[in-house]
Structure 1
Amino acid sequence: MYAVVDIETTGGKYNEEGITEIAIHKFDGHQIVDSFISLINPERSIQPFVVNLTGINNQMLRNAPKFYEVAKRIIEITNDCVIVAHNSQFDYRILRTEFKRLGYDYKRETLCTVELSKKLIPELDSYKLGKLCRALGIPVTDRHRANGDAIATTKLFQYLLDKDVKKEIIKSAIKNEPKLQLDPKLNDIVDALPTKTGVYYMHRADGEIIYIGKSKNIKKRVNQHFTNSSHKSKKMQSQVATVTYEITGSELVALLKESEEIKRNKPLFNRALRRTIFTHALYSFIDKDGYINLKIDKANGKENPITTFANRQSAKSHLFRITEEYHLCQKLTGLYNTKTNCFNYTIKSCNGACMLKETPEEYNKRVKQVITKHSFENKNIIILDKGREYDEHSAILIENGIFKGIGFYNLNYQINNIDVLKSLITTMENNRDVQHIIKSYLRRNRVKKIIEIPNS
């Protein structure tokens, strides 16, 4: 199955472009079986020459969905598909960059119709999409718009599939990660590992831990380490003697254990992970008119943040989401720099705090809901999630906003007494990284249940 993709962007510096329009046609080699076409709000300005080329301008994209709003659909329609594009290196790089900004590692196999055309039709003067289609009698409409170019690329790809009778060139053109043969010793290690969620530890022959990681599939992740050809991976492969592991069931518990174990053991190959794992934070302050303002800033370790983020882009994306969800003012959340009203007020999505038309009391109620939802300050809660077996839950204890530790309990034993549940908790260190892990995980994932503990 193939996913034929065409992307239009804002232009600009390498890896700083934003998507303005995307078209994806799921193609089974004979016909299109599914399609996704959408303008995208890139949250940045379009270069003038791009506006002239595509006809897409900033005004057209004001109400278009942002990338995070369509990301799930893109993952679904391209799942188990080979990405096909005319100059796939560009389109695939743009997609991976956008997903990376959301903290998601998007990987697909790719095929480039430019490369395939040069191999299968070597006699042509030009391999630009328009000229190539004209030479082959393929109709092109709406040139330099995503859907027009994607339809043309689909028809071109159909032509190339027909041209490649034995499918040998198509297969060889698919960009696969290299399949390396494992050293027999490493193969034995992988065979003994489970496919469950947990934390794994790589040891040297003397028992020293050289690397700690977490995964939702330990066997698969360790196998990736052992087949990776990077300099770091090769050094790890040469030193590892055995791999031990702990099943956690819950990915959140695995993240917390990984963080603590790395700080405690300081493994040789985890140097990058010893540093703080977030750079930006969401803060609040009250302005001269009595409104609670929100702002994104670099995490400084002095102020107490509402929540923290791995980078500025993910912080900004989240702030856009909560601004829309809670009908906050873009001016008071720092997303719209203006001396008058914010854009949302113009389209009646803001109640007018920027113009002093909504009282601070009414506006601040919604901001406090955001702060309460995302901050653990003074909170007493237990987060319940998956356990190591089907009849078990994991429990993460937060007391007075401080992370206390984790534990597991069997579902066959009904625990109604919070003190009994607390007694099952293994104490762990509270720090800024742990707070970030918990808050960011809860923003992006569901857990079984969150129990509020009444103050005694």
Structure 2
Amino acid sequence: MYAILDIETTGGKYNEEGITEIAIYKYDGHEVVDQFISLINPEREIQPFVVNLTGINSNMLRNAPKFYEVAKRIVEITEDCILVAHNAQFDYRILCTEFRRLGFQYDRRSLCTVELSKDLIPDQPSYSLGKLVRSLGIPVTDRHRASGDALATVKLFKILLDKDTSKSIIQQSIRLNPKRQLEPKHLDIIDSLPSITGVYYIHKANGDIIYIGKSNNIKKRINQHFTATNQKSKKLQAQVTTVTYEATGSELVALLKESEEIKRLRPIFNRALRRSVFTHALYSFKDENDYINLKIDKADGRKNAITTFSNRQSGKSFITKAVEDYNLCQKLADLYKTKTSCFNYDIKTCEGACIQKEPSESYNKRVEALIEKNSYSNKNMVIIDKGRDIDERSAILIENGIFKGLGFFSLNYQINNKEVLESIITPMQNNRDSQHIIQNYLRKNKRLKIVELD
């Protein structure tokens, strides 16, 4: 029997969070046989970013039961069950913390659907609950609310049970106690860190940097390092004495700084990472009939790529959407192998470039528009993103298609002023990784402000 749950919290300092909402679905492997859903008055402040994320505010919780009033029901519905959650370590820790405040020792076995998904559904671009269920076609309502996320986890868990035909992985993944007691030095480090976007540096006793990473929430990411149980994390946990960080505000700035710093400092725990952050690229060529063809292929530094991707599936998803958005031919985009017309032509959504019915000139214009939008080759521009403070923005400079560097500026400055630009930009290395990071970020963040330069 499984108790599939999701918990929403107040946010705040590690082990000082309170529960604002809980949803538990008791599942027998075939259907939900019982459920418990409730808002909870945490008797503490809710962090503003959590209110924005979940929509749960203090007014909604004023008359909600306090945890001690629902504790007995939680114990009963999870009795003799394996707890299942997406990132079970977090939900289990929060439950244990609340029960410990009541003087009660709460022990359950658990399963984490993040770990299971990585084993049973490999090569997904993301294992966050929202992106994973969307990629699997699982409908989800009330995202970031306990009931909606728990129900999505129920549907995901059904798929995982079906995929684990031998039941061996799930059996091996059940943990008697997923919580890891953090050492005092780890707790002190976590307490000293902010929940901001930036690059972090993990140091050992002599000050040497042994790991560099980036995160949209540095405190949360370091906590994950300190509670992970794989061999690399255990070695890192044994050696760490200090964590320093650099705020960036912008995830793009953090990604670029992380990439350059890893190449420059080569920390021992980063060396296992792949040399490149991308494996595939989009290429174009003209066929014998003068039509521009597109092809996703393994990245090759000797060839001029339009844009790059972290894996083949990411590239395939991109080109499939591009065919739809730009009314392109499946055959000429290498999505439909045929010697005659493509499938889209048969259903009247392709103009017939596959059989030379549409003139190459008109077809190529649409392909060139796609290439222009997704390649900054020969472009002069500044990408404007978040800054470290509310009245600051970050600037990423591209000159003639080459990444020159980045900096921060006050909203009072005119960023298209060449003298201002030169004064704020810190030069950085232009390489294939930085190009991939920028192109990938531009694809995913359509509303970024871009200033074209003369």
TM-score (norm 1): 0.65
User: Partner of 1:387 in structure 2?
Assistant: 387
**What is the Cα deviation at residue 96 of structure 1?**
5.6
Once the two structures are superposed, the pairs formed by residues 73-222 of structure 1 within 5 Å of their partners are: 101-107=123-129, 178-222=178-222
Aligned to 2:398: 398
The one-character-per-residue Cα deviations of 1:420-449 (angstroms, maximum 9, x if unpaired) are 123210000000011011111111124540
Q: CA deviation at 1:418?
A: 3.4
Whether the 8 Å contact between 1:99 and 1:106 is mirrored in structure 2 is no
Residues in 1 aligned to 2:399 and 2:25: alpha-carbon distance in whole angstroms: 49
Q: For 2:272 and 2:356, locate their aligned partners in 1 and report how far apart those are by CA, in whole Å.
A: 47
Distance apart, 1:400 and its partner CA: 0.6
- 1:260 equivalent in structure 2: 260
Q: Do the aligned partners of 2:202 and 2:240 also contact (CA within 8 Å) in 1?
A: yes
Structure 2's unaligned 5+ residue stretches are 1-22, 38-84, 92-109, 131-153, 159-172
Letter of the structure 2 residue corresponding to residue 183 of structure 1: E
The percentage of counterpart residues that share the same residue type is 59
Which amino acid is the alignment partner of residue 303 of structure 2? E
- Equivalent residue number for residue 334 of structure 1: 334
Distance verdict in 2 for CA 1:201–1:26, change over 3 Å:
farther
For residues 447 and 188 of structure 1, the distance between their equivalents in structure 2, rounded to whole angstroms, comes to 39
CA drift at 1:409 = 0.3
Which residue number in structure 1 is paired with residue 146 of structure 2? none
Q: Distance in 1 between matches of 2:236 and 2:24?
A: 36
- Equivalences, count: 326
- Which secondary structure state, in structure 1, belongs to the residue aligned with residue 182 of structure 2? coil
Q: CA deviation at 1:105?
A: 1.8
Going from structure 1 to structure 2, the CA distance change for 1:452 and 1:180 (only over 3 Å counts) comes to same
For residue 91 of structure 1, report the CA deviation from its aligned partner: 9.3
1:29 paired with 2:35, answer: yes
SS at match of 1:257: helix
Structure 2 Cα separation of the partners of residues 92 and 245 of structure 1: 27
Aligned-residue offset at 1:207 = 1.1
Using the TM superposition, give the Cα deviation of residue 277 of structure 1 relative to its aligned residue in structure 2, in angstroms. 1.2
For the Cα contact (< 8 Å) 1:96–1:107, is it kept in 2? no
Q: CA deviation at 1:106?
A: 2.9
Q: State the distance in 1 between where 2:237 and 2:320 align.
A: 43
State the one-letter code of the partner of 2:329: C
Do 1:394 and 1:409's aligned partners in 2 also have CA atoms closer than 8 Å?
yes
Q: Structure 1 341/438 Cα, relative in aligned 2: closer, same or farther at 3 Å?
A: same
Q: Map of 1:421-436 to 2, 5 A cutoff? A: 421-436=421-436
* Mapped contact 1:101–1:314 kept (Cα < 8 A): no
1:354 and 2:354 aligned: yes
Deviation at 1:179, TM superposition (A): 1.8
Is the contact between residue 403 and residue 429 of structure 2 (CA under 8 Å) also seen in structure 1? Answer: yes
Q: Distance in 2 between matches of 1:26 and 1:92?
A: 21
- Say which SS state the counterpart of residue 273 (structure 1) adopts: coil
- With 441-450 and 266-275 compared, the bigger mean Cα shift is at 441-450
2:342 and 2:354 in contact (8 A); partners too? yes
Q: Can you list the C-alpha shifts for 1:279-334, whole angstroms capped at 9, x where unaligned?
A: 11100000000100000111111001001111111111111011111110000000
Q: Relative to 1, partners in 2 of residues 1:427 and 1:213: Cα closer, same or farther, differing over 3 Å?
A: same
Return the alpha-carbon distance in structure 2 between the equivalents of residues 26 and 249 of structure 1.
43
Task: Give the letter for the 2:440 counterpart.
Answer: S
Judge conservation of contact 1:203–1:242 (CA < 8 Å) in 2: yes
The separation in 1 between residues aligned to 2:377 and 2:333, in whole angstroms, is: 21
Shift of 1:2: 5.5
* Structure 1 letter corresponding to 2:294: L
Does the Cα contact within 8 Å between 2:24 and 2:36 map onto a contact in 1?
Answer: no
- Judged with a 3 Å threshold, the aligned counterparts in structure 2 of structure 1 residues 177 and 222 are, in CA distance, closer, same or farther, namely farther
Give the match for residue 224 of structure 2: 224
> Which amino acid letter does the alignment assign opposite residue 128 of structure 2?
Y
Q: Match for residue 10 of structure 1?
A: none
How much does 1:27 deviate? 10
Partner of 2:322 in structure 1?
322
> In the superposition, relative to structure 1, how do residues 264 and 80 fare at CA in structure 2: closer, same or farther (>3 Å)?
closer
1:273 to partner: Cα distance: 2.7
1:146-168 per-position Cα deviation (integer Å, ceiling 9, x unaligned) = xxx98xx9xxxxxxxxxxxxxxx
Amino acid at match of 2:227: T
Contact 1:328 1:366 in 2 (8 A): yes
2:367 maps to 367
One-letter amino acid of the structure 2 residue matched with residue 342 of structure 1: C
Mapped to 2, the partners of 1:223 and 1:448 lie a distance apart of 30
Q: CA RMSD in A?
A: 3.4
Partner of 2:390, secondary structure, is coil
Which range is displaced more, 405-414 or 440-449? Answer: 440-449
Could you tell me how far 1:412 is from its partner in structure 2? Answer: 3.2
Tell me by how many angstroms 1:93 deviates: 8.2
Q: Who is 1:119 aligned against?
A: none
SS of the aligned residue for 1:285 comes to strand
Whether the 8 Å contact between 1:386 and 1:448 is mirrored in structure 2 is no
Cα separation, partners in 2 of 1:89 and 1:30, compared to 1, 3 Å: closer
Q: Does the aligned pair in 1 maintain the 2:414–2:420 contact within 8 Å? A: no
Alpha-carbon distance, 1:101 to partner: 4.2
State the alpha-carbon separation in 2 of the partners of residues 94 and 183 from structure 1: 27
For the residue of structure 1 that corresponds to 2:201, the secondary structure is: strand
Give the deviation of 1:414 after TM superposition: 4.2
The C-alpha deviation readout for 1:198-219, integer Å capped at 9, x for no partner, is 0000011111100000000000
**Given that residues 404 and 428 in structure 2 are in contact (C-alpha distance below 8 angstroms), is that contact kept between their aligned partners in structure 1?**
yes
Task: Name the CA distance, whole Å, in 2 between partners of 1:280 and 1:341.
Answer: 27
The 1:270/1:337 distance shift into structure 2, 3 A limit, reads same
Distance 2:36 2:187 in 1: 40
Whole-Å Cα distance in 2 between the matches of residues 444 and 97 of structure 1?
A: 26
Q: Is the 8 A contact 2:283 2:296 kept in 1?
A: yes
CA distance in 1, matches of 2:416, 2:307: 31
Letter matched to residue 299 of structure 1: A
